[in-house]
């Protein structure tokens, strides 16, 4: 190339670069501005609602949020009227790939009957029902299909992130980690060796500190965002008692250490008091359920800053459909239900950090918001109940920099519900507008899809 050819090449190259830069700028500038207005606004952290709420959105982010802002000229204004704007709700405890809400034995048969791919397709509807109910972020705390090693929760999360299907932002746990014969052992209650082998770390079953570390590493390798483990027995498992400890302190220490080294939070399924005490001492990030926790254990939680995820909806649902469960599980459910109301009242009084979580899948997906009323009925202030599902949840999930409050620079995850939820908390059950990362998922009635799918056609929790 001679000198003049070189200069021509350079000038063409710099022109191309200029064109590319100006294209990038104009694409950015072309992001239309959307202004959401409503009579009230909850920002996810304040003690009161703001009047004349305004949220200004450009692209996938919030540009500004507060009271009485003028709308920029040429913005698209959506006035939602006598409603309350709020950050998208967050549920810290769901199982979007499963549905346990129908008759227990029928469901158990289906679990070994249905093709896993078919169950994964059903999960896309559960995801849609959840986001349409106003839940723009969830933690998915355990997904498993007996006899299969599929990571359906990872696939669901990735498909949502890629825009293939509509659903909430998901932080997934893959398999719940637990002991042989414990709450998460997928073969518990089936005839010995029915599946040909004992489950191992590759299905979350681990005994001993080293095996627990291997299970954590295996899950992170396969896409886990958060680690879930069962440290005590559970209600819907056939071969354990509901409150016995299932991991040793040494196993819990290994669980927490390995997860935190890999920058993953640890959520533990725990009903029993002793197991909770040991798990809190070990440094877990949240206790899920916590039914039998005594005041002394709640004090330990408060001092350590450990979150409680109450999942009141799970017990509420099981108790309202108690005949759907085998006698052994009925007894466990009754014991847990009798203990959890006092535990929750104490936790609220003592100021334990609480993050919203429901155990959706035990009840039909999309009914998550009914948890709000249960918390308020047990003594929580409505504004604090709203905080559990927004600012608090974002803090527990480790994503408070990105979402959970209506503030400049955060993702535009914005919902609206009619009226004033601090006057009537059940307004949270009637979300009418949902935006996730600046995209409107719903404005008005839910999609025509039969979204609240359940194996039980009468799957509606009693109103009282």
- Pairing mode of beta strands 83-87, 33-41: parallel
Instruction: Order across the sheet with 135-140: list the strands.
Output: 89-94, 135-140, 169-172
Residue 200, classed as helix, strand or coil, is: coil
Question: In the bound complex, what is the minimum distance in angstroms from residue 138's beta carbon to Zn ion?
Answer: 12
Closer to Zn ion by CB, 359 or 371: give it: 359
Question: In the bound complex, what is the minimum distance in angstroms from residue 76's beta carbon to Zn ion?
Answer: 40
Closer to Zn ion by CB, 240 or 359: give it: 359
Please name the residue ranges forming H helices in 71-198: 104-113, 116-132, 152-161
Residue 59, classed as helix, strand or coil, is: coil
Closer to Zn ion by CB, 219 or 413: give it: 219
Closer to Zn ion by CB, 107 or 302: give it: 107
Stretch near Zn ion under the rule CB under 5 A, chosen from 219-227, 260-268, 334-342, 351-359: 351-359
Query: Which residue has its beta carbon closest to Zn ion?
Result: 359
Question: In the bound complex, what is the minimum distance in angstroms from residue 194's beta carbon to Zn ion?
Answer: 24
Residue 96, classed as helix, strand or coil, is: coil
Stretch near Zn ion under the rule CB under 5 A, chosen from 10-18, 66-74, 356-364, 426-434: 356-364
Question: In the bound complex, what is the minimum distance in angstroms from residue 258's beta carbon to Zn ion?
Answer: 22
Q: Please answer whether residues 291 and 343 qualify as being in contact, where contact means their C-beta atoms are separated by less than 8 angstroms.
A: yes
Question: In the bound complex, what is the minimum distance in angstroms from residue 357's beta carbon to Zn ion?
Answer: 9
Closer to Zn ion by CB, 65 or 336: give it: 336
Residue 70 DSSP one-character state: P
Question: In the bound complex, what is the minimum distance in angstroms from residue 59's beta carbon to Zn ion?
Answer: 35
Q: Which helix (H) or strand (E) holds 329?
A: helix 327-350
Q: Is 219 in the site for Zn ion (CB under 5 A)?
A: no
Q: Is 359 in the site for Zn ion (CB under 5 A)?
A: yes
Map the footprint of Zn ion across residues 395-454, applying CB under 5 A: none
Closer to Zn ion by CB, 138 or 441: give it: 138
Q: Which helix (H) or strand (E) holds 19?
A: helix 3-30
Q: Is 74 exposed, middle or buried (0-12, 13-18, 19+ CB in 10 A)?
A: exposed
Stretch near Zn ion under the rule CB under 5 A, chosen from 23-31, 50-58, 256-264, 353-361: 353-361
Closer to Zn ion by CB, 99 or 359: give it: 359
Q: Pattern of binders to Zn ion over 302-341, x per CB under 5 A? A: ----------------------------------------
Residue 410 DSSP one-character state: S
Q: Please answer whether residues 35 and 78 qualify as being in contact, where contact means their C-beta atoms are separated by less than 8 angstroms.
A: yes
Question: In the bound complex, what is the minimum distance in angstroms from residue 184's beta carbon to Zn ion?
Answer: 10
Q: Pattern of binders to Zn ion over 257-276, x per CB under 5 A? A: --------------------
Q: Count CB-CB contacts under 10 A for residue 101.
A: 25
Instruction: Order across the sheet with 307-309: list the strands.
Output: 226-230, 265-270, 286-289, 307-309
The C-alpha atoms of residue 382 and residue 282 are separated, in whole angstroms, by 32
Q: Is 99 in the site for Zn ion (CB under 5 A)?
A: no
Residue 38 DSSP one-character state: E
Please name the residue ranges forming H helices in 31-72: none
Question: In the bound complex, what is the minimum distance in angstroms from residue 360's beta carbon to Zn ion?
Answer: 9
Question: In the bound complex, what is the minimum distance in angstroms from residue 359's beta carbon to Zn ion?
Answer: 4
Stretch near Zn ion under the rule CB under 5 A, chosen from 224-232, 359-367, 427-435, 455-463: 359-367
Closer to Zn ion by CB, 96 or 412: give it: 96
Closer to Zn ion by CB, 175 or 433: give it: 175
The C-alpha atoms of residue 131 and residue 128 are separated, in whole angstroms, by 5
Question: In the bound complex, what is the minimum distance in angstroms from residue 95's beta carbon to Zn ion?
Answer: 6
The C-alpha atoms of residue 291 and residue 370 are separated, in whole angstroms, by 19
Phi, psi of 195 (to 5 degrees): -95, 10
Tell me the number of residues near Zn ion by CB under 5 A.
1
Strands (E), 357-432: 414-418
Stretch near Zn ion under the rule CB under 5 A, chosen from 13-21, 34-42, 355-363, 378-386: 355-363
- Nearest-10 crossing angle of helices 116-132, 152-161: 50
Residues that bind Zn ion (CB under 5 A): 359
């Amino acid at each position: 190339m001679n000198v003049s050819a070189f200069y021509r090449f350079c000038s063409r190259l710099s022109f191309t670069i200029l064109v590319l830069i100006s294209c990038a700028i104009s694409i950015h500038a072309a992001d239309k501005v959307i202004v959401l207005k409503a009579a009230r606004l909850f920002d996810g952290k304040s003690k009161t609602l703001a009047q004349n709420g305004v949220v200004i959105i450009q692209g996938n982010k919030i540009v500004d949020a507060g009271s009485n802002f003028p709308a920029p000229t040429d913005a698209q204004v959506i006035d939602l009227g006598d409603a309350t704007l709020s950050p998208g709700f967050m549920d810290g405890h769901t199982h979007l790939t499963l549905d346990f809400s129908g008759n227990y034995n029928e469901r158990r048969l289906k679990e070994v009957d249905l093709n896993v791919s078919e169950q994964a397709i059903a999960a896309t509807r559960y995801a849609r029902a959840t986001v349409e109910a106003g839940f723009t972020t969830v933690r998915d705390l355990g997904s498993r299909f007996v006899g299969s090693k599929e990571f359906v929760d990872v696939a669901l999360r990735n498909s949502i992130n890629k825009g293939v299907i509509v659903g909430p932002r998901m932080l997934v746990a893959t398999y719940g980690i637990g002991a042989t014969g414990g709450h998460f052992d997928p073969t518990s209650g089936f005839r010995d060796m029915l599946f040909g082998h004992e489950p191992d770390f590759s299905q979350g079953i681990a005994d001993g500190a080293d095996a627990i570390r291997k299970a954590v590493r295996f899950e992170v390798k396969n896409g886990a965002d958060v680690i879930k483990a069962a440290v005590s027995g559970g209600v819907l498992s056939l071969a354990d008692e509901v409150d016995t400890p299932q991991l040793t302190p040494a196993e819990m220490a290994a669980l927490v250490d390995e997860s935190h080294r890999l920058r993953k939070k640890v959520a533990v399924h725990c009903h029993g008091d002793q197991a909770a005490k040991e798990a809190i001492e070990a440094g877990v990030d949240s206790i899920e359920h916590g039914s039998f926790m005594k005041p002394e254990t709640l004090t330990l939680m408060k001092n350590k800053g450990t979150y409680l995820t109450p999942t009141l909806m799970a017990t509420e649902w099981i108790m309202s459909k108690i005949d759907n469960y085998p006698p052994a599980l009925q007894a466990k459910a009754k014991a847990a239900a009798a203990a959890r109301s006092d535990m929750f009242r104490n936790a609220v009084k003592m100021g334990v950090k609480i993050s919203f979580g429901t155990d959706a899948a035990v009840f039909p997906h999309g009914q998550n918001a009914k948890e709000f009323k249960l918390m308020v009925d047990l003594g929580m202030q409505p504004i604090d109940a709203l905080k559990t599902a927004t600012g608090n949840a974002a803090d527990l999930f480790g994503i408070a920099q990105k979402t959970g409050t209506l503030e400049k620079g955060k993702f535009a995850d914005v919902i609206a519900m009619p009226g004033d939820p601090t006057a009537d908390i059940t307004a949270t059950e009637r979300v009418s507008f949902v935006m996730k990362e600046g995209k409107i998922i719903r404005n008005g009635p839910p999609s025509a899809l039969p979204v609240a799918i359940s194996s039980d056609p009468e799957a509606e929790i009693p109103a009282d």
